[in-house]
């Protein structure tokens, strides 16, 4: 079983994005709004994925498979009304950890979130983020992509 351990933060100040890798991302959700398990389609530049994420906030099950563009397009219409679009910047922090900074576009602009993954729960809980990270929203379900895809920007 694959487990994802991550923390999510609002972005207080954008860092220098020069040394990052940029991807255009669109994703949509196939599961019902009240289902705690997420089944997601994602296009990241010219690659396509089907991802299952279990319930939870900081620690949850994650399984992902790369799919073809044709498979993606077959199911994409079923995500209508449950989509997000963003620019994702992937970079390295001074401590060697990788960050993923999402700058949302469309209805979720100007929201910016950054995520960092960890090997263990104690490591995640002990983490001290850099100054450009803002408020920790890991446990705030309003900032889950699926929730925002359905409900829009958190109030």
Are the beta carbons of 112 and 103 closer than 8 angstroms?
A: yes
Residue 145 to residue 107: CA distance in whole angstroms: 13
143 and 84 in contact (C-beta within 8 Å)?
A: no
Active-site residue, 49 included:
no
Residue 96: other Cβ atoms inside 10 A: 6
CB 90 within 8 A of CB 80: no
CA distance 70 to 40: 16
* Residues recorded for the chain: 155
Catalytic residue among 29, 48, 89, 143: 29
Between strands 83-92 and 112-117, the pairing is: unpaired
In sequence order, the β-bridge partners of residue 152 are none
Residues with a catalytic annotation lie at 29
């Amino acid at each position: 079983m694959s487990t994802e351990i991550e923390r999510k933060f609002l972005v207080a100040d954008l860092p220098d994005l020069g040394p990052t890798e940029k991807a255009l991302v669109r994703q949509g959700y196939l599961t019902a709004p009240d289902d705690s398990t997420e089944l997601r389609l994602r296009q990241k530049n010219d690659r396509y994925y089907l991802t299952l994420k279990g319930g939870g906030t900081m620690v949850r099950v994650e399984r992902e498979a790369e799919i073809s563009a044709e498979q993606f397009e077959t199911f994409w219409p079923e995500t209508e009304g449950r989509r997000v679009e963003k620019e994702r910047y992937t970079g390295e922090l001074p401590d060697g950890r990788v960050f993923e900074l999402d700058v949302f576009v469309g209805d979720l602009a100007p929201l910016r979130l950054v995520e960092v993954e960890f090997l263990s729960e104690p490591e995640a809980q002990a983490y001290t983020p850099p100054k450009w990270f803002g408020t920790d929203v890991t446990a705030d379900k309003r900032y889950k992509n699926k929730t925002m895809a359905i409900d829009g920007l958190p109030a």
